Amino acid sequence: LAKIDERRGTTTQFWNRVMFPIQDINHRVIGFGGRIMGDADNGPKYLNSPETSLFDKSRNLYGLNFARTSRRPNVIICEGYMDVIALHQAGFTNAVASLGTAFTLQHGILLKRYTEEVLLAYDSDEAGTKAALRAIPILRSAGLRIRIIHMNPYKDPDEFIKHLGVEAFQERMDHAQNSFLFEISVLEKSYNLSDPDGKTRFFRISRGVNPVCFFSTFRK
């Protein structure tokens, strides 16, 4: 919660932030996260405690201490603490988020202990799409099945549930998109498939995603 500076002494790095205790899987507090209060405040939107021997961001997930005992058959991965809290309040107690860092293989291995399938509920903007594309091969390497929950027309799970409600989010979960088809759909937007050259280049780049899923999509 505090840092020591030789000139200024002991100071807080979380001034004017909403605080989130971060717990390990045994409910022990190992660090803190702070979200900035106002748009006019300086500094990053989220700030975490510095890493220690106990607080390793690549080996812990926010909310996993509750999600691991959820009776739901999968785990929802979100981008931020507020999304996890909103989903738990709505009854989706299987939601987790990484601790302000990119998703790692260690995260995937950790999740594999508790589930066989993950649902990505990242933001619907370009940054969220890129984050999902980075996370998919990592999760796949850990041996997990991956599906994508689409948030459109809203940005994130918190906003979606506030506007459309719990049942609508459950329906999005039930119809979550296969990760291979998600990758193909993102790639499609970068090529003009009505042009033979564009279709050929799309075919070549898509072979690296998954041939079976690609051919079924390509024929359509």
The pLDDT tens digits along the chain (220 residues) read 888 888 888 888 888 899 999 999 999 999 999 988 877 667 788 889 989 999 999 899 999 999 999 999 999 999 989 999 999 999 999 999 999 778 899 999 999 999 999 999 999 998 999 999 999 999 999 999 999 999 999 999 999 999 999 999 999 999 999 998 898 888 776 654 455 555 555 555 555 555 444 434 444 4
Q: What are the backbone dihedrals phi and psi of residue 147, each rounded to the nearest 5 degrees, phi first?
A: -130, 160
Return the pLDDT at 137.
94
pTM: 0.83
Return the pLDDT at 107.
96
Q: Measuring CA to CA, how many Å separate 11 from each of 19, 42, 51, 123, 187?
A: 16, 16, 17, 34, 47
Per DSSP bridges, beta strands 117-120 and 95-97 are unpaired
